[in-house]
Amino acid sequence: MTQTNSTYDVVIAGGAVVGSAVAYFLASHPRFAGRVLVVERDPSYRDCATTRSAASIRHQFSTPENIRLSMAGTAFLRQAEQWLAVDGVAPGLSFREQGYLFLAGPAGLATLQANHAVQRAEGAEVALLTVDELAARFPWLHTDDLAGGSHGLAGEGWLDAHALLHGFKRRAQSLGVVYRQGTVAAFEREGARVTAVRLADGERFACGWAVNAAGTGATALAASAGIQLPVRARKRCVFHFRSPAELPGCGLVVDPGGVWFRPEGHAFIGGVAPPDDQDNDVDPADFDVDHALFDEVVWPTLAQRVPGFEALRLLSSWAGHYDVNLLDANAIVGPHPAVDNLLFANGFSGHGLQQSPGVGRALAEWIVDGGWQRIDLTALGWQRVIDGRPLREQAVV
């Protein structure tokens, strides 16, 4: 028999970086005085995308909303140690600002230039570099086959993802948010409203608002409310390697074919999207690393782009799951038109860590004020999904 255990103003399904960001921004909103519950299946966060991510932030997108969200992310991260401190203890985010470097061959130059124009219009500090400028600024780079590059001058970089997640969570808890271990089985819906959130163990929490922040688990939860979310899990592998090469000024470099690398402490991490990604549903328990991808694609590309990488040594590797929006590789954020009080924050397709502060704040403001306030996320909403109108991101890594 199911019973209603309690009533909350907001119940958030999934308590990793996105769910915890929503919880933190709600609890710290000066005009919100409600009760918030976060239900998280695995408080160790071992397998979630957040803790398996490459934890990097860039402003070099082609979609204005993505640029704005990441710029909001940078603005937050620059002050987050102060805002997320609890009893004087800061979360230790290790945010290191170091620009991305997108490289283009002749075929990709026009896209790079078009993206650059959008980024500049949004106020991103980015510079287009000629091949001569690339060679002068990054002498460790092989440039013969390149036509140009785009370099982030400020605001891009990387951080400790685990520390950001726990920073949001600890601060939210200190402000009264309740975290409960459990698996959400369903959003219970009556007409255009979710009335309660039901857990797999039978517990039931009545709610004024529900938020779906369940990452790759979000699709099943959406279905429980009768909504088809076009989000599927896709495997991504990250390779951690050491090299004797010195790469001064190296940020996160994206090769024309999509192979990327960046410094990680005294070593590097890198990876690439697998070639057969679109139709490759991944088993939720499959975290096996694709070593052939490293041997056949990543390493040869690294060695060609940075001659010093020929002598690299693989230290470790891991796999994680992207929550990919099959429609257009962009997040789906906000309410579905059929259900007023169920908010979605899903399908981040590889850029959810950097978008978590912006999306968390925007959804908190939606709950308090009933609409978008500081960041208008209409373009990332459900309507484009319902209409089948993709908002294609050209700069997916």
Ligand X SMILES: Cc1cc2nc3c(=O)[nH]c(=O)nc-3n(C[C@H](O)[C@H](O)[C@H](O)COP(=O)(O)OP(=O)(O)OC[C@H]3O[C@@H](n4cnc5c(N)ncnc54)[C@H](O)[C@@H]3O)c2cc1C
Task: Give the binding site for ligand X (CB under 6 A).
Answer: 13-14, 16-19, 39-42, 45, 48-50, 52-56, 183-184, 213-217, 221, 236, 238, 320-322, 348, 350-354
27, 119, 254, 333 from 99: Cα distances, Å: 32, 14, 11, 27
CB of 225 to ligand X, least distance (A): 13
CB of 305 to ligand X, least distance (A): 19
Residue nearest to ligand X (CB): 352
CB of 315 to ligand X, least distance (A): 16
Alpha helices in the chain (DSSP H): 17-27, 49-52, 64-83, 109-121, 131-137, 161-174, 218-224, 291-293, 299-305, 352-369, 383-387
CB of 359 to ligand X, least distance (A): 9
Nearer to ligand X, 14 or 381 (CB): 14
Helix (H) or strand (E) holding 252: none
Nearer to ligand X, 146 or 158 (CB): 158
Give me the residue label for tokens 């929006």: 325
Residue 274: burial class (beta carbons within 10 Å; 0-12, 13-18, 19+): middle
53, 89, 200, 285 from 81: Cα distances, Å: 20, 9, 36, 34
CB of 202 to ligand X, least distance (A): 14
CB of 78 to ligand X, least distance (A): 16
CA atoms within 13 A on the CB side of 179: 23
> What is the DSSP secondary structure assignment for residue 296, as one 8-state letter?
I
Nearer to ligand X, 232 or 236 (CB): 236
Nearer to ligand X, 143 or 336 (CB): 336
User: What are φ and ψ of residue 56, in 5° steps?
Assistant: -115, 155
Nearer to ligand X, 146 or 179 (CB): 179
- The answer to whether residues 337 and 383 touch, using CB atoms and an 8 Å cutoff, is yes
Nearer to ligand X, 118 or 238 (CB): 238
- The answer to whether residues 224 and 185 touch, using CB atoms and an 8 Å cutoff, is yes
CB of 88 to ligand X, least distance (A): 27
Nearer to ligand X, 145 or 277 (CB): 277
